[in-house]
A = this chain, B = another copy of it.
Amino acid sequence: MIEFIFKANKSITNGEINLKDLPGSSGRMDLVCRCVSSAFFLSHDLRRDTIFYSVHYGAPNPPVAIKFVGSELKRVSPDERSIALFIKKALDKSPMQLWKESTSGIYIAKKEFKDIILEKKNEGKEIYYLHKDGEDIENIFNKENNAENKNIVFILGDHIGIGEEDEKFLEDIGALKVSLSPLELHANHCITIVHNALDKAKLK
């Protein structure tokens, strides 16, 4: 299983998404949608072994976490607008402590970014923090040490990053910093590159 946990610092926390302005009034909801698209879509197929979390810290009701489960997703298309419509449906529900299903494979809950990460850590999963100044991903996943049958969790931030406090937290729990590129990339491109590195390590 490959999981991504994405911190969306400004993305709104209710269903008042303006589909004509995903970047602005919805707080970079366009980026959340592109991350979902990168996490799951293959040519004529879905990545069923992937789970993607987006944790929103925008107004009016932060935090709200949305979980997308690849093996359960139905009728989702890779374009931003259609993904935004599914997110809107999820955010229209009141988030509780426990995950509540909105549409097939899409869940919502009132959970902190940190707490979701801690849950994974306590389940014994390997936690990696995606950061430009980390260890090259190809040194971590390759033919000798590939991702098959492993439970791996990647943490990443939006245009603002995850912030110092959460960086410190990741350091404290022993998350390894992993780099994908010498350049600073958009989060959705990072997800595409992580998948590619794991695909190549696994099947080469």
| Cα of A185 to Cα of B196 in the assembled complex, Å | 10
Give complex CA distance A37, B38 in Å.
Answer: 13
Chain B min CB distance to A139 (Å): 12
Complex contact A44–B184 (CB within 8 A): yes
Q: Kindly supply a per-residue 1/0 record for chain A positions 30-45, scoring 1 wherever the CB is within 8 Å of any chain B CB and 0 otherwise.
A: 1100100110011111
The residues of B that contact A77 with a CB separation of less than 8 Å are 23
Stretch from A55-63, A64-72, A102-110, A186-194 forming part of the interface with B: A186-194
Contacts of A79 in B (CB 8 A): 22-23, 30, 34, 80
Compute how far the CA of A199 lies from the CA of B182 in the bound complex, rounded to whole angstroms: 7
A74 in the interface (beta carbon within 8 A): no
State whether A78 touches B43 (Cβ < 8 A): no
Known A-B contacts A196-B180, A203-B182; A80 and B78 likewise in contact (beta carbons under 8 Å): no
Restricting to A155-173, which residues have a CB under 8 Å from any CB of B? 159
Are A22 and B199 neighbours in the complex by a CB distance under 8 Å?
no
Number of copies: 2
Which one, B38, B183, B192, B199, contacts A199 given CB within 8 A?
B183
Knowing that A189-B196, A196-B196 are A-B contacts, what are 10 other residue pairs whose CB atoms are under 8 Å apart, sorted by A's residue number?
A23-B77, A30-B80, A31-B78, A41-B189, A44-B159, A80-B80, A182-B199, A183-B203, A192-B193, A193-B193
A177 to chain B, nearest CB (A): 17
A4 to B52, CA, bound (A): 30
What CA separation (Å) do A184 and B196 show in the bound complex?
A: 11
Whether a CB of chain B sits under 8 angstroms from the CB of A181 is yes
Chain B hits for A193, CB < 8 A: 192-193, 196
Contact of A186 among B41, B189, B199, B200 (CB under 8 A): B41
How far is the CB of A5 from the nearest CB of chain B, in Å?
A: 19
